[in-house]
Amino acid sequence: MDYYVNQFLSALLCTSLLFIANLLPVTAQAAAPIPFKVLAERTHKLTLFTQGLLVDGDHFYESSGLYNQSLLVTYPIAEPAGTWAKISAPFSKKQAIPERYFAEGLALMGDKLYLLTWQEQTLLIYDKSTLNYQKSLSYKGEGWGLTSDGKQLIRSDGSDTLYFHNADDFAVTKTLKITDEGKAVTQLNELEFAGGFIWANVWYQDRILKIDPATGKTLGELDLSALKQSLQLTNSEQVLNGIAWDEKRQAFWITGKHWPKMFLVQVTQ
């Protein structure tokens, strides 16, 4: 009797393991390094705790975080001649964010700038031309990075999930889990949408991931550790955080929190 029981239990165990194996995700190929070259560099205001960065025409738009210090600014890509002139150049426009908000990711759709807040569950909307406040929308969870694919806004919250939002009411239309080699990728931060892909900073890591917006799989990564090391930064909070696609130059502007420089990086594959 024990023989038949043991045989039955063994068969049941094998069947169960096979069933579980079929439920497990298929491991993706490792994200390959993406080759790139640095085309140019320019100064970046050390005072800016960069949270969101984008290019529109010949101007940057940037959000700077921290409570009681958050800002929304715009300034030209072209710099004046002379070292001091570059360092002291004023912003074209500057908008202080109310003290109760910690500004985070920034995105542009149409003539509106959409600004996330960290833990206040509030999306702030500003006029692109004037930087004047227009209205607020609420959402659940934290706000980290924000970008747009031209149809929807895409938000990160530091987890392995990206949220797609309707721009009119910021309602979530879908979620997307991000994986690398079949494993969840967390700490997703600043975002950019370019070339049909989502590009994402990983908080406290010197890399930018290229993500398939349909599957959430990581397709490759930009390793910017050498670029960061060239700046000889001394503060651990000066992390890589800032990706802006420059359509005219067909390259990314890259910077970080309290970085003294911005780099124009072109993918070469």
Phi, psi for 35 (deg, rounded to 5)? -70, 150
Distance CA 148, CA 163 (A): 11
Whose CA is closest to 202, among 178, 227, 182, 181?
178
pLDDT of residue 269: 78
Phi, psi for 85 (deg, rounded to 5)? -60, -40
Phi, psi for 78 (deg, rounded to 5)? -70, 140
Per-residue pLDDT of the chain (269 residues; tens, 9 = 90+): 343 434 444 444 444 433 333 333 333 345 799 999 999 999 999 999 999 999 999 999 999 999 999 999 999 999 999 889 998 999 999 999 999 999 999 999 999 999 999 999 999 999 999 999 999 999 999 999 999 999 999 999 999 999 999 999 999 999 999 999 899 999 999 999 999 999 999 999 999 999 999 999 999 999 999 999 999 999 999 999 999 999 999 999 999 999 999 999 999 97
Token pair recorded at residue 37 = 């070259």
pLDDT of residue 197: 98
Contacts of residue 9, defined as CB under 8 A and 6 or more positions apart, other chains included, come to none
pLDDT of residue 14: 40
Distance CA 184, CA 179 (A): 4
SS3 6: helix
The number of helices, as runs of H, and strands, as runs of E, in the chain is: 3, 23
| Domains within the chain, CATH numbers bracketed | 33-267 (2.130.10.10)
Helices (H), the chain: 2-23, 83-88, 225-229
pLDDT of residue 174: 96
Count Cβ neighbours within 10 Å for each residue of 34-62 and write b for 16 or more, e otherwise.
bebeeeebeebbeebbbbbbbbeeebbbb
Biggest CA-to-CA distance, the chain? 92
pLDDT of residue 30: 56
Return contacts of 225-234, CB within 8 angstroms, 24+ apart. Answer: 227/38, 227/254, 227/263, 227/265, 228/256, 231/259, 231/260, 231/261, 233/259
Token pair recorded at residue 239 = 């992390």
